[in-house]
C-alpha cells in the first residue's frame, strides 16, 4: 500500500489525536508510516496541518505537491488552503463546518459589500480540481454521537469508508479506544460509524468504497 | 503525546513523534537529570519528561531560561551524572555563554544538548542556522533525519560525551522534532538514582587565562580524536550507484533527496553520502566519496555549512569536482526545503528536464483567491485580548490629548499583536528585548514608550533590563502580562506558577515583589478581564513621568479551562440576544474573538462550541445584549 493523506483544520479540533490513531494502527499492523506535522503555536483557532504518508516508498515527511490521494479537512476554508497537495481527481473529505477567522468577520463590518466565503463557493472551487468530494456535517454527527468533540473520530470513519485506505477498520477502532479518554470511547466509536456511513453515502458511486457492515 | 510508548517496558515498534523518540532515547540511556526552558519545536520534550516524572527515577527542572537549564545539566555532568537539555534555535543564543566554556572545561557524565533549528521560521523570530555553534565551541554535533535516528543518536551521544568528556549537540530541525514515524523501542533498564561524593571524584572545571590556554590545546586534540572516530561512525553511510554523480546531504534533507530522486526516476543513478556526524566532519569518508566523482550536489537547508567544508576538502582531493549547491544558485539559503524544491535543484544541477511544481501551485493559487487568511490569534477567553482592548482605548484617549507612542513588543502569545486585524508593534526582537530597547529609546525619542512582556519572559530575560531602567532613571511604561504559565509553548509552569516539573508543588515568585524590591515607584496590579477600569489605570501609567509598571493578571484560558475540567466545573458559553442587539458591532470592531461571527441577518453570533465564557465581551457591549446561557440543573 502506498497512500498520502493531507490532513488540515483549525487548532483545537483534534488533528494530533487523529494522526496518532492512524499512526498507532499502522505501527501495530507493521505498516510503515511517516508524518510531517505543523501545529502552528499552541493557540487555538490557527491553521494546523499534517502530512501523513503510508507505505515503504514514502521517504520525506512532506507530501510532494499534487501527490496526496486524500485531502481530509476538518474545516471547510482550510480545504482550499492546501489544495495544491491533492492530486487531480483525488478524494476530498471535508467538514461542512466553517470557522470564520476574526479577520474575515472584521472585514465584513468595515468593508462595504464584503461577505463571508460560503460552503457553495468552496465546493464550486474544489470542483475545479476534483469531483470526488464528500461534505460531512461532522459537528452534527459528533453531537449525534453524544460528544461535540468527536469530529476527528467522524473523519476516521470517513477514511475507513474508502477502499484505498488500507489500514483495517478493526485496528483503527482499537486505536481510537486506546487514545481517547475512557468515558468517551463509546461516543468516539459511534462518531466513527456515523462518519463512515456519511462518506460512504457521498462517495460510493464515485470511488471504490468498502461495504458498510 | 503517547506517553504509554515512551514508558513501555516492551521492545516493540511504536509510532512516535521525533520529540517522543528523543525522550525515549534518553530514558533508555538512563538519563538522570533533565532541565529545559520550553520553545517550539522542542516543547514536547519538556512536556513528556514532566509527564513521565512519576514513572522513573530522574531529577527535572523547568528552568527560568535556556542558560540556567544548560547549567543545571552541566552541574550534574560535572559530578558524573547523565543529563540532557533541549532548546530551540534561539534559546541556544541565551545558553551560548555557558556552551562556549563547556567546550573548554568538558564534563564527566554524558551531557546531551538537543538544539532545534527552525528553517522557515515557523515559530521563531529568525531562520538561525545553529550548526555553526559546533565548530565555534568545539562541541561535537550529530544530526538525525528521522525519529528512529533521533533516538539512536541520543543514546550514542551519551557514549561519545563520556568517552571524550565533552557535551554533544543533537541538532534537529522542526521537521525532525515534529516528524512522526515508526521507532523500534529497545530495552529500558534504569538504575537507581544515587548522589555521589564530589570529593571522591577528584574533578575540576575551571578555565581562565593560562588555564584556558592549556585547555584550548587539549580541546583541539580531543576534536581530532573525535573526527577519527566519526570517520567510522554508522551514522555516515553511502548509497552507491554506477555513476560519477553524487549527493551529499544530512538531516531531513536526506529524506527529501530520497523522495526527489524517486520523483526524477534517478533512484539508482546517483551516489548518496548521508552525513550524521556533522561536527567534526568525517573528512576521510568525504574524501573517499568524492574521489572518483565528476559532480557533487550538496543538499542542506539554510547556510552552506557542508558545502563550504566540502569545497575545502575537494580542493586537495579532487580539484576538478564540480560542486552544485547554494553558491552555484541551484539551491537557496532561504526557507525550508520540500521534495519539490530538492527535485528542482537536483534536476537543474544535472541539466535534466523537470516538469516542475510551479504549474500546480499556480493553478491552486488561482482557486484560493479570495479565501481569508487565518493568522494565529488569541484564543477565546484569552486574558491578553481584554488587556489589549483596554490598552488600545487608553492609547486612543492619550493620542487625542497629544501623547504619541512607541510600542515595544516581545516574545510570547502577545507577539501576535503584530498580526492583522490588530497589526500593532514598532519592534519585536527576542526574549526580554522589549525592555532592553525601551531603555535606549527613552533617551532618544519624544513619544511615550510602552514595553510589553509576559510572566515567563519577565523571569527569563527581562529583569536585568528592568533593573537597568530603575538604576538609570529611564522613563517608560512596562506592561507585564501575567497569565501564570508559559502559554505559547503549551502552558508549561514557570516561576509565576505555584507548580514545578511533574506538577509538584513549587514556590510561586511574585512579580510585583521583585518590582518593589528594585525600587519601581509606579506599580499597579489589575485583572485582565476588567477592561473598563483598566483603561484608567493604563492612562495613569502612560501619563506618569517615570518608569511605570502595570501587571495585568489572569490565568491563560487554556490552562484555566484545563483546571476547570479537572475540578468538574462547566464552561458556560454566552449568547447574543438578538432582541436587544442593535448591531453597534463594538464586539467585532475591537475585540476580534474567534468565537464571534455574523449570522445571516448580519447579527453578531457567539459560537457555543468556541465560547470560553470569559464574559469580557459582556462588559464591552453598550446595550447589554450578551447573556449567559442558562444551564439546566
Q: Which residues of B touch A38 (CB under 8 A)?
A: 122, 178
**Is A45 in contact with B377 (Cβ distance < 8 A)?**
yes
What distance in Å separates the CA atoms of residue B230 and residue B233, rounded to the nearest whole number? Answer: 5
Mark yes or no for CB contact A77/B17 under 8 Å: no
Q: Flag whether A75 is in a domain.
A: yes
The pLDDT, as a whole number, for residue A40 is 67
Mean pLDDT of A49-68: 97
Judge if ipTM > 0.95. yes
pLDDT level of residue B420 (50, 70, 90 thresholds): confident
Using CA atoms, how far apart are residues B417 and B426, in angstroms rounded to an integer?
Answer: 11
* A29 contacts on B by Cβ (under 8 Å): none
Whether residues A64 and B340 touch (CB distance < 8 A) is answered with yes
Min Cα–Cα distance to chain B from A56, Å? 12
Chain A and chain B share a number of CB contacts under 8 A equal to 198
Instruction: Tell me the chain B residues in contact with residue A64 when contact means C-beta distances shorter than 8 Å.
Output: 259, 263, 338-340, 343, 357
SS3 state at B355? coil
Q: Which of A103-117, B40-54, B328-342, B385-399 shows the lowest per-residue confidence on average (mean pLDDT)?
A: A103-117
Which of B24, B364, B585 to mutate against chain A (most A CBs within 10 Å)?
A: B364
The CATH number of whichever domain residue A10 belongs to comes to 3.40.920.10
Place of cell 514515524: B181
Domains held by chain A: number: 1
- Write down the CATH number for the domain with range B237-363: 3.40.50.920
Look at A60 and B420 and tell me if their CB atoms are within 8 Å.
no
Long-range residue pairs from B212-218, CB within 8 A, at least 24 positions apart, any chain: B212/B104, B215/B104, B215/B105, B216/B104
How far apart (Å, rounded) are the C-alpha atoms in residues A173 and A22?
Answer: 10
Of B17, B372, B609, the CB nearest to A103: B372
What 3-state class would DSSP assign to A78?
helix
Measured on CA atoms in the order B307, B309, B311, B314, is the torsion positive or negative? negative
Are residues B138 and B111 in contact, defined by beta-carbon separation less than 8 angstroms?
no
Q: Please say whether the structural domain B3-230 has been given the CATH code 3.40.710.10.
A: no
What is the residue whose three cell numbers read 493568522? B375
Where do the DSSP E strands lie in B233-346? 237-239, 245-250, 271-275, 277-279, 295-299, 322-324
**A contact test, residue of B361, B382, B489, B594 with most A CBs within 10 A:** B594
In A, which residues are within 8 Å of B420 by CB distance? 103
pLDDT at B375 over 90: no
pLDDT tens column, B146-203:
999 999 999 999 999 999 999 999 999 999 999 999 999 999 989 999 999 999 999 9
- How far A155 CA sits from the closest chain B CA (Å)? 18
Q: Inter-chain contact B588–A80, Cβ cutoff 8 Å?
A: no
Whether B49 has a pLDDT exceeding 80, the answer reads: yes
Cβ B397 vs Cβ B629: under 8 Å: no
Average pLDDT, chain B: 96
Asked if the structure places residue A173 within a domain, the reply is yes
* Residue A42's pLDDT band (cuts 50, 70, 90): low
Range of the domain at A73: 3-203
- Option in A26, A65, A83 nearest B368 (CB): A83
Q: A1 falls in which pLDDT band (50, 70, 90)?
A: confident
Identify the band that residue B126 occupies on the pLDDT scale cut at 50, 70 and 90: very high
What residue in A sits closest to B597 (Cα-Cα)? A105
Average pLDDT, chain A: 94
- Cβ separation B179–A36 shorter than 8 A: yes
Q: Which of B88, B82, B92 is nearest to B112 (CA)?
A: B82
| In a domain? residue A212 | no
The alpha-carbon gap from B103 to the nearest alpha carbon of chain A, in Å, equals 33
The sign one gets for the Cα dihedral B514, B515, B516, B517 is positive
Q: How distant is the Cα of B602 from the closest Cα of chain A, in angstroms?
A: 9
Distances (CA, A) of B306 to A85, B114, B221, B335, B545: 31, 20, 22, 17, 54
Q: Do A117 and B491 count as a contact with CB atoms less than 8 A apart?
A: no
Cross-chain residue pair A20–B2, CB shorter than 8 Å:
yes
Topology annotation, domain B383-565: Rossmann fold (3.40.50)
Chain A's closest residue to B363, CA to CA, is: A84
- Topology of domain B570-628 in CATH is Alpha-Beta Plaits (3.30.70)
Judged against a pLDDT cut of 80, whether residue B631 lies above it is answered with no
Nearest to A42 among B490, B593, B594 (CB): B490
Pairwise CB contact (< 8 Å): A38 & B421: no
User: Which of these, B586, B584, B604, B603, lies nearest to B595 by C-alpha position?
Assistant: B604
A interface test, pick of B371, B483, B568 with most A CB neighbours within 10 Å: B371
Which residue among A24, A43, A117 places its CB closest to the CB of B413? A43
Q: CB–CB of A107 and B379 under 8 A?
A: no
Model pLDDT, residue B632: 66
Distance CA B588, CA B400 (A): 23
Are B379 and A129 an interchain contact pair (Cβ–Cβ within 8 Å)?
A: no
Smallest Cα–Cα separation from B534: which of B385, B378, B393, B381?
B393
Q: Report the length, in residues, of chain B.
A: 633
Mutation for B interface: A51, A103, A176, most B CBs within 10 A: A103
- Whether the pLDDT of residue B379 is over 70: the answer is yes
d(CA B616, CA B379): 13
pLDDT in tens, B60-116: 999 999 999 999 999 999 999 999 999 999 999 999 999 999 999 999 999 999 999
Taking a C-beta distance cutoff of 8 angstroms, is the pair B550, B477 a contact?
Answer: yes
Residue among A19, A44, A105 minimizing CB distance to B596: A105
pTM, rounded to two decimals: 0.97
Task: Find the closest chain A residue to B378 by CA distance.
Answer: A43
Under a CB-based contact definition with an 8 Å cutoff, are residues B153 and B170 in contact? Answer: yes
Of A29, A45, A183, which to mutate for an interface test with B (greatest number of B Cβ within 10 Å)?
Answer: A45
Chain A positions in Cβ-Cβ contact with residue B258 (cut-off 8 Å) = 59-60
List the single best residue of A102, A114, A121 to mutate versus B (max B Cβ within 10 A). A102
Three cell numbers, residue B459: 523571569
> Is the CB of B588 less than 8 angstroms away from the CB of A125?
no
CA-based nearest distance B308→chain A, Å: 25
> Which of the four pLDDT bands, split at 50, 70 and 90, describes residue A45?
confident
| Shortest Cα–Cα distance, B182 to chain A (Å) | 6
Show me where the domains of chain B are located.
3-230, 237-363, 383-565, 570-628
Nearest CA to CA, how far is B597 from chain A (Å)? 6
Q: Contact B360/A65, CB-based, under 8 Å?
A: yes
How many Å lie between the alpha carbon of A57 and the closest alpha carbon of chain B?
8
CB contact under 8 A, B179 and A34: yes
User: pLDDT, tens digit, for every residue of B261-288?
Assistant: 999 999 999 999 999 999 999 999 999 9
Q: Which residues of A touch B181 (CB under 8 A)?
A: 32-35, 61
> Considering only CB atoms, which chain A residues are within 8 Å of B372?
77, 100-101, 103-104, 107, 117
Residue B144 in this model has a pLDDT that exceeds 80? yes
Q: Which residues in B lie closer than 8 A to residue A117 (C-beta atoms)?
A: 370-372
Query: Cβ contacts (< 8 Å) between B122 and chain A: which residues?
Result: 38, 40
Mean pLDDT of B325-339: 98
Least CB–CB distance from B593: residue in A41, A84, A102: A102
**Other CB atoms within 10 A of residue B398 CB:** 17
The Cα of A92 is separated from the nearest Cα of chain B by a number of Å equal to 15
* Residue in the block written with cell 499552541: A42
pLDDT of residue B353: 87
Summarize pLDDT for A142-187 with one digit per residue, the tens: 999 999 999 999 999 999 999 999 999 999 999 999 999 999 999 9
Dihedral of CA atoms B54, B55, B59, B64 in degrees, nearest 10, equals -50
What pLDDT sits at residue B172? 98
Amino acid at each position: 500500500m502506498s497512500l498520502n493523506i493531507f490532513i488540515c483544520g483549525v487548532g483545537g479540533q483534534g488533528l494530533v489525536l487523529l494522526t496518532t490513531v492512524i499512526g498507532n494502527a499502522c505501527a501495530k499492523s507493521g505498516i510503515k508510516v511517516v508524518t510531517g506535522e505543523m501545529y502552528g503555536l499552541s493557540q487555538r483557532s490557527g491553521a494546523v496541518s499534517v502530512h501523513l504518508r503510508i507505505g515503504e516508498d514514502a521517504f520525506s515527511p512532506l507530501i510532494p505537491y499534487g501527490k496526496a490521494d486524500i485531502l481530509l479537512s476538518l474545516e471547510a476554508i482550510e480545504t482550499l488552503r492546501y489544495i495544491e497537495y491533492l492530486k487531480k481527481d483525488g478524494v476530498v473529505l471535508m467538514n461542512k463546518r466553517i470557522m470564520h477567522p476574526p479577520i474575515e468577520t472584521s472585514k465584513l463590518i468595515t468593508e462595504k459589500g464584503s461577505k463571508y466565503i460560503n460552503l457553495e463557493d468552496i465546493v464550486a472551487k474544489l470542483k475545479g480540481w476534483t469531483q470526488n468530494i464528500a461534505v460531512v456535517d461532522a459537528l452534527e454527527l459528533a453531537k449525534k454521537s453524544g460528544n461535540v468533540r468527536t469530529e476527528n473520530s467522524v473523519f476516521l470513519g470517513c477514511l475507513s469508508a474508502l477502499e484505498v485506505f488500507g489500514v483495517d477498520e478493526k485496528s483503527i477502532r482499537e486505536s481510537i479506544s486506546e487514545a481517547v479518554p475512557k468515558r468517551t470511547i463509546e461516543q468516539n466509536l459511534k462518531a466513527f460509524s456515523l462518519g463512515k456511513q456519511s462518506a460512504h453515502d457521498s462517495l460510493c458511486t464515485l470511488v471504490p468504497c468498502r461495504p458498510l457492515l | 503525546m503517547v506517553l504509554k510508548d515512551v514508558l513501555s517496558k516492551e521492545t516493540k515498534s511504536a509510532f512516535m513523534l521525533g520529540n517522543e523518540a528523543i525522550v525515549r532515547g534518553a530514558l533508555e540511556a538512563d538519563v538522570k537529570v533533565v532541565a529545559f526552558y520550553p520553545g517550539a519545536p522542542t516543547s514536547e520534550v519538556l512536556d513528556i519528561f514532566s509527564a513521565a516524572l512519576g514513572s522513573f527515577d530522574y531529577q527535572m527542572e523547568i528552568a527560568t531560561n535556556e542558560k540556567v537549564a544548560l547549567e543545571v545539566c552541566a552541574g550534574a555532568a560535572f559530578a558524573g551524572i547523565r543529563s540532557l537539555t533541549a532548546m530551540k534555535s534561539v534559546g541556544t543564543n541565551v545558553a551560548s555563554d555557558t556552551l562556549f566554556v563547556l567546550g573548554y572545561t568538558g564534563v564527566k557524565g554524558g551531557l546531551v544538548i538537543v538544539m532545534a533549528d527552525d528553517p522557515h521560521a515557523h515559530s521563531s523570530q529568525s531562520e538561525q542556522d545553529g550548526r555553526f555553534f559546533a565548530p565555534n565551541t568545539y562541541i561535537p554535533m550529530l544530526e538525525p533525519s528521522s525519529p528512529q535516528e533521533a533516538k539512536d543518536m541520543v543514546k550514542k551521544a551519551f557514549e561519545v560525551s563520556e568517552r571524550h568528556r565533552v557535551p554533544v549537540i543533537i541538532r534537529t530541525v522542526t521537521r525532525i522534532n515534529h516528524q512522526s514515524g515508526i521507532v523500534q523501542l529497545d530495552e529500558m533498564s534504569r538504575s537507581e538514582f544515587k548522589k555521589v561524593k564530589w570529593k571522591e571524584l577528584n574533578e575540576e572545571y575551571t578555565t581562565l587565562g593560562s588555564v584556558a590556554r592549556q585547555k584550548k590545546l587539549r580541546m583541539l586534540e580531543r576534536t581530532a580524536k573525535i573526527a577519527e572516530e566519526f570517520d567510522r561512525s554508522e551514522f555516515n553511510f553511502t548509497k552507491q550507484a554506477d555513476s560519477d554523480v553524487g549527493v551529499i546531504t544530512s538531516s531531513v534533507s536526506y529524506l527529501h533527496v530520497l523522495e526527489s530522486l524517486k520523483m526524477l526516476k534517478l533512484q539508482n543513478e546517483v551516489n548518496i553520502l548521508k552525513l550524521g556526524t556533522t561536527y567534526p566532519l568525517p573528512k576521510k569518508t568525504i574524501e573517499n566519496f568524492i574521489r572518483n566523482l565528476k559532480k557533487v550536489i550538496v543538499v542542506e537547508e539554510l547556510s552552506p555549512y557542508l558545502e563550504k567544508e566540502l569545497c575545502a576538502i575537494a580542493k586537495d582531493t579532487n580539484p576538478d569536482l564540480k560542486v552544485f549547491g547554494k553558491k552555484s544558485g541551484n539551491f537557496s539559503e532561504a526557507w525550508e526545503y520540500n521534495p519539490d524544491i530538492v527535485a528542482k535543484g537536483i534536476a537543474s544541477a544535472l541539466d535534466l528536464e523537470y516538469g516542475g511544481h510551479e504549474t500546480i501551485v499556480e493553478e491552486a493559487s488561482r482557486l484560493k483567491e479570495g479565501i481569508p487568511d487565518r493568522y494565529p490569534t488569541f484564543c477565546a477567553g484569552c486574558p491578553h485580548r481584554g488587556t489589549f482592548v483596554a490598552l488600545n482605548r487608553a492609547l486612543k484617549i492619550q493620542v487625542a490629548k497629544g501623547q504619541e507612542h512607541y510600542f515595544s513588543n516581545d516574545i510570547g502569545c502577545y507577539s501576535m499583536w503584530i498580526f492583522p486585524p490588530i497589526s500593532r508593534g514598532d519592534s519585536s526582537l527576542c526574549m526580554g528585548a522589549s525592555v532592553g530597547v525601551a531603555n535606549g529609546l527613552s533617551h532618544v525619542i519624544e513619544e511615550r514608550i510602552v514595553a510589553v512582556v509576559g510572566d515567563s519572559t519577565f523571569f527569563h530575560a527581562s529583569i536585568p533590563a528592568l533593573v537597568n531602567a530603575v538604576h538609570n532613571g529611564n522613563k517608560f511604561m512596562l506592561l507585564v502580562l501575567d497569565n501564570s504559565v508559559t502559554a505559547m509553548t503549551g502552558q508549561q509552569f514557570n516561576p509565576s506558577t505555584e507548580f514545578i516539573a511533574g506538577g509538584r508543588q513549587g514556590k510561586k515568585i511574585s512579580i510585583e515583589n521583585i518590582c518593589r524590591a528594585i525600587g519601581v515607584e509606579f506599580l499597579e496590579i489589575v485583572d485582565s478581564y476588567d477592561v473598563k477600569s483598566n483603561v484608567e489605570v493604563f492612562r495613569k501609567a502612560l501619563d506618569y513621568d517615570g518608569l511605570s509598571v502595570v501587571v495585568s493578571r489572569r490565568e491563560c484560558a487554556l490552562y484555566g479551562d484545563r483546571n476547570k475540567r479537572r475540578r468538574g466545573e462547566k464552561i458556560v458559553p454566552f449568547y447574543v440576544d438578538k432582541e436587544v442587539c442593535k448591531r453597534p458591532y463594538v464586539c467585532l470592531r475591537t475585540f476580534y474573538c474567534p468565537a464571534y461571527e455574523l449570522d445571516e441577518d448580519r447579527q453578531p453570533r457567539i459560537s457555543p462550541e468556541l465560547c470560553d465564557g470569559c464574559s469580557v465581551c459582556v462588559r464591552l457591549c453598550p446595550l447589554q445584549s450578551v447573556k449567559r446561557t442558562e444551564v439546566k440543573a
